[in-house]
Amino acid sequence: MVRVLVLVCIIPFLTCAVRAVQFIFGDSLLDVGNNIRLPRSLARPALPWYGIDFGNGLPNGRFTNGRTIADVIGDRMGLPRPPPFLDPSVDEDVILKNGLNYASGGGGILNDTASFFVQRFSLYKQIELFQGTQVMIRKKIGRQAADRFFTEASYVVSMGTNDFVNNFLLPGVANSWTYSATRFIDLLMTTLQQQLKMLYSLGARKLTLFGLGPLGCIPLQRILSSTGACQDSTNRLAVTFNEAASELVLGLSSSLPNTSFKFGDAYGIVLDVIHNPLKYGFNNSASPCCSLGPIQPTLICTPVSILCRDRSKYFFWDEYHPTDKANEIIASEIISKLGYLPANETTATTNHY
């Protein structure tokens, strides 16, 4: 521990306190400004009313009105918010102070997920970008200090939603007719295992994988049934994915030396909110706050969409994504399930994850 502090203190641009940072990998649920900088991407939250309850209220790259789940969790733990990888102001100093967020709307565990969005970072691509970041940081502070920096950091991975919603569940996509549900989930698990092992080999020791929510209840799935009810078959896929992913993560955590890999999901509480919105202070848990109305569902919220009167009373922001308020509930559930502690309530080298 003494050695850690000495190492860090001789790096001039860091204070002597060991700064805990996060590296975030994910899809649109955690994207904070990557897709908005991909000019050809068809999944860009670039127009109002995205971001209306965040900062200056202009679109900032988040696919929601306010904070993401990772924003809320990081804030509670006293961690800096990692900027998006594509933010032009990001350099080595910024990364050493704040970590980095590679999440990208449309990204999947599988490379070919959501290819119709044209531009997005799959999980493999995000890991490749992270390897580039490591090269930069090693050049800046040397191999040993860099290794320590990446080992001390916390890692968040949130992927899989698009592999179902924008891949397996789409009738025109090859995976929907080449794979049974069981074999498709096996494929996701084999791939995810490789990806998590890659992150381990790159230094990740404290990692949390977020599970899926009840995907069959997102407005986009509900419009598939005449009654607007949740799609039970889709929800069952999410449950099966979560069970397998939880087993995978816990298995890796016990077999890889020195790791604390955790699995956190909020599936149960989200389903309860959806069935009992009033109990949680919501007034609507079925339709999006930002919408053109039930007849013209659009994938994204646009300036001509109608906004609900009270955004804190809606669970869904658009056809896919939860509101700020919903993300807060999901984050609180994950925090309490995993027993996260704020960074200031742990010692400098044993960490919160």
Residues annotated as catalytic are 28, 318, 321
Q: Residues 239-268: x/- map of binding to ligand NAG (CB under 6 A)?
A: ------------------xx----------
For 334, the 3-state DSSP assignment is: helix
Least CB distance to ligand NAG at residue 152 (A): 11
Distances (CA, A) of 144 to 134, 147, 158, 180, 305: 12, 5, 29, 46, 52
Give the integer Cα–Cα distance in Å for 319 and 317. 7
Site for ligand NAG in 125-184 (CB under 6 A): 125, 128
Least CB distance to ligand NAG at residue 12 (A): 26
Site for ligand NAG in 308-327 (CB under 6 A): 310, 313
Closest residue by Cα to residue 252 from 195, 202, 183, 182: 195
Least CB distance to ligand NAG at residue 281 (A): 9
Least CB distance to ligand NAG at residue 278 (A): 9
Closest residue by Cα to residue 228 from 237, 219, 215, 238: 219
Q: Residues 84-123: x/- map of binding to ligand NAG (CB under 6 A)?
A: ---------------------------x------------
Q: Quick check: bond before 49 cis, omega within 30?
A: yes
E strand map for the chain: 22-26, 99-101, 154-158, 206-210, 260-264, 284-288, 290-291, 306-307, 314-316
Q: Name the residue nearer to ligand NAG (CB basis): 125 or 138.
A: 125
User: Binding to ligand NAG by residue 344, rule CB under 6 A?
Assistant: yes
Residue ranges that bind ligand NAG, judged by CB under 6 A: 78, 111, 124-125, 128, 257-258, 283, 310, 313, 342, 344-345
